[in-house]
Chains A and B, each alone.
Chain A
Amino acid sequence: MWELIRANRRRSMVLVVVMLFILLLLGFILGGSLAPLFDGRYHDGYEYQAGDPIPGWHIDVAGGLIGMGFAFVLWAGQTFAAYFFGGKILLAVSHATPIRKEDHPQLWNVVEEMTIASRLPKMPAVYIMDDMGMNAFATGRDPEHAAVAVTAGLLGRLNRDELQGVIAHEIAHIKNRDVLFMTMVGIMVGTIVMISDVFLRTLWYGSLGRSRRYSSSKKDSGAGIIVILLVAIVVAILAPILARMIYFAISRRREYLADASAAVFTRYPEGLASALEAISKDTNRLRYANKVTAPMFIINPLHKEGKMALNLTSTHPPITERIKVLRSMAGGVSFAKYQEAWQKAQGRKAGHLPASALAEQEQPIRTAKKRDEQENEQTPRQRMREAGDLLRKVNEYVFLACVCGMRFKLPPDFKHDHVDCPRCRRNIEVPAAQMATAAAVGSMMSSDGDSQEDKNEFTRGAVMAGMLANRATPQRRQAQGIPTAKARQHQETQQAQTSQQASGQPFTVNLKPNERGWSTLKCPCGAVRNIGPSFQAKQTRCTRCGRHININFV
């Protein structure tokens, strides 16, 4: 794979140099055409005189040089930033938070396993994105400074083998140094798009608007100037498009190669295939993906369901084809086998894989049967729950357990000192010290993380928790502060009796959650309640008539 690593380094270098020229050109045109604006004559109350240069219609060489100077500084700055902080920037843009092993041992273990299988010198950092969509990406400048990020939705819906396939694909990007090039392009193309946008706006609102006022200036708008203007517009429009084209054309090849590598690392192509299938069926859109970060994900997050991605601008090969190729690798895994499967699927002789990879030996495929048995252990419901808890953990929620088995997850800005357990009505004290540290970290995060969504989530949690606490208040008043265990027990039996009297026999209902884990509970009194995937209790109480309801999940 040496030629790949070298090619990626070379491409990154070429990119940096090309970027310098594009920026210098843009800087010259931008500086040159805007220079007259800084001229002393153009203050308020200025009257146009024949022969005066018009901003935007006249290229001033000195101004152009100054623009080039600015462009150079900008280029140096963005190259530096893209190389050293590119990964961090992209992770921040995607709202990814680093996790530790305790937060999700399985994810951590899978990343470590794949590090061993791919012989990376160092395990990449593991990040989680607070998003129910399913996707993953890798970033970093080299294997020593790399990171993989997965969404909570992905963790919640894939089993261990599928997760392994996805991680193997991402690790393959790191191993082949795709991450360096992709990160650099992401940052630099982003800057170019921004600059040409600024240029087009100034040209449009600044000079064209002005030139209408100076309509007498026929004399100044010679053929040469029009040519310059045309070139400027063409450059400003074409630069970002060209940059994207290069990017797109290359990244489809990368995806095939990463798929092939994932099959070789895991010796189990079916894992990645079924993961891709699950991801493509998922309907949740990724919240924080944009045009610049989209090509980095395992599946294009901006792509609409069912649309064939065969044109030049698609960053990812069609998912159905990727799955087909992976599934037709029977008997053994190797890069040559993948190529063969690919050619069969495409019906044409062409290759995406480098020669040295094709020369590698074929390896026996891992059998899947045993793993399936093992997977029965964890139901999708449990996995979803684990992923949700992981998100709360990284968002500094405080976890509390009630004696009856109910678990509370309190947001860091939870203000009350007691919570009422909705299942057994016990009054539980909130550990103040733990809350204080959580709140400190939480507010720090929200002040520099500053996403509105995050805050909304915090407040939503707080409102819900506040409701619980409010329900506790009348009881607490009755019991004069914190009730003793005996008083509470007494109260509980009394309550149970009254509710039994009020509503007769407890009622048992069988619920069948839909594929998203939700189900609807109907009480004989007519009250209807929707039960979410995180609801695990066997018994609840009707909110209207107070009747006990036993729940059997089917």
Chain B
Amino acid sequence: MAKITYHTHDNKTHTIDVQNGLTVMEGAVQNDIPGIDADCGGGMACATCHVYVKEEWLDKLPSKEDGEEDMLDMAFEPKNNSRLSCQLIVSDDLDGLEVNIPSKQG
């Protein structure tokens, strides 16, 4: 279990206990946190679960697999701290993770 904090574009903060094994994307979708569309359902085939990871977490996350950076090319306003939240699998190590959800996904 990890506490994940989602900052949404309306300046609201949602801190959720997300079970290990789920993705950061699923944690948001299952808890009705707005702003993550996840159109392809977690297959790294779209870029609509795009989030900005809080800088201090960037190096602590598992590195990007092939394909994630390619999909991020398609994201809305990608930055250096952009990740696809469907590729971030929750474990105890992610306890305290904070992500910002962009104003829109496309």
Do A and B form a real pair?
A: no
- Residues of B whose CB lies within 8 Å of any CB of A are none
- Residues of A whose CB lies within 8 Å of any CB of B are none
